[in-house]
Amino acid sequence: MSRTRCYQNGVLVDADFDADQLSEHLEEPGSVVWVDLVAPDADELALIADELGLHALAVEDAIHAHQRPKLDRYPDHAFLSGYAVRFDPDTPQLVTSELAAFLTPRALVTVRKDEGFDIDEVLQRWDSSSDLAKYGVAFLLHGLLDYLVDTHFESVQQLDEQIENLEDLLFATDADQESVQRRSFELRKSLVLLRRIVLPMREVVNTLMRRDLHIIDEGMGPYFQDVYDHVLRATEWTESLRDLVTSVLETNLTIQGNRLNIISKKVTSWAAIIAVPTAITGFYGQNVPYPGFSQQSGFYASTSTIVLLSGLLYWLFRRKDWL
């Protein structure tokens, strides 16, 4: 079921009307309409496309999923593709919701690929800044992009918190290193996906702000500049986090290597200590005469030598912090 709105001279005059009434509202002077569709088929979108004269390639991109975030320009309208994202800290995975939008001088058509895209949040932004509705499609587009970029920014912030928690586990003595390694790879995978979404948005917003396209009125310029600043911050933050999670992976491997070296030193030290009594008792176990052969003094001499040399080695290894 489609959701619709109609603004006339900056005032909301109608909402949730049938999509087939789109032409009637566009006939009114100073009117701007918004139509929202959820996973439409070709026939449903064809009605809107014929009414607004949408390009066939743009309509095809709106129907098919997994589009790259982009802004395509056509003679009388533009096509925008983007993603809203949500980070699930339990998995940890990045959940994406794809959106396509058609921008015409007097209409905004949004096509959601699934119900995961929270369009109510966009409506709240429009209602909270209704004084900007006089700018028409630029006002509607700003609320939509502001929501998209905010989801990117919130996801980056949550990923940052997860990586900080992961850094604390690196040096914990009771931490499960296999779990740390697995979570590091999962966070890196989410960051790579987020980067594919955030990075192209910088180009999208930058293109929208170009004066020669005449999509954004001068009055909406500062608002889109604010969105662009958020896009830049999210992009830079994502890049820094990707480097950080890579260093976490490398640090974890280094720590494991250091711990293995410590264990090797301890095992080697104990092996050296055990070798002393083995060598002495082996010497006294020969079947040829030796000093103290068949005498009680030989037993005491070998025992004293074992205790003395083993104690000396133990003290020496402890001093070098090998034990």
pLDDT, one tens digit per residue, over 77-96 is 999 999 999 998 888 899 99
Question: Which two tokens mark 304?
Answer: 């004293």
Q: So what's the pLDDT on residue 210?
A: 85
Rounded Cα–Cα distance for residues 156 and 151 (Å): 9
Give the residue, 268 or 5, on which the prediction is more confident.
5
**Domains in the chain: boundaries:** 3-256, 268-319
Question: Which two tokens mark 99?
Answer: 């959106």
Average pLDDT over residues 104-116: 93
Average pLDDT over residues 207-216: 83
Does the pLDDT of residue 259 top 80, yes or no? no
Rounded Cα–Cα distance for residues 108 and 152 (Å): 22
Average pLDDT over residues 276-281: 78
Question: Which two tokens mark 46?
Answer: 């064809």
**Under CATH, to which class is 3-256 assigned?**
alpha beta
Tokens 């079921």 belong to which residue?
Answer: 1
Does the pLDDT of residue 279 top 90, yes or no? no
Segment 3-53, tens digit of pLDDT: 999 999 999 999 999 888 888 999 999 999 999 999 998 888 988 999 999
Q: Work out the pLDDT band at 211, boundaries 50, 70, 90.
A: confident
Average pLDDT over residues 220-243: 93
The C-alpha angle with vertex 171 and arms to 169 and 176, in degrees rounded to 5, equals: 50
Q: Are 252 and 181 in contact (CB under 8 A)?
A: yes
Rounded Cα–Cα distance for residues 232 and 246 (Å): 21
Q: How far is CA 4 from the centre of its chain?
A: 32
> 111: closest CA among 47, 204, 178?
47
Reading across the β-sheet that carries 93-104, which strands appear in turn?
11-15, 3-8, 31-38, 107-112, 93-104, 78-88, 70-73
Average pLDDT over residues 268-295: 74
Q: How far is CA 154 from the centre of its chain?
A: 10
What are the distances in angstroms from CA 286 to CA 107, 289, 308? 102, 8, 22
> 108: closest CA among 190, 4, 194, 184?
4
Percent of the chain at pLDDT > 70 equals 95
Q: So what's the pLDDT on residue 290?
A: 65
Question: Which two tokens mark 289?
Answer: 């005469």
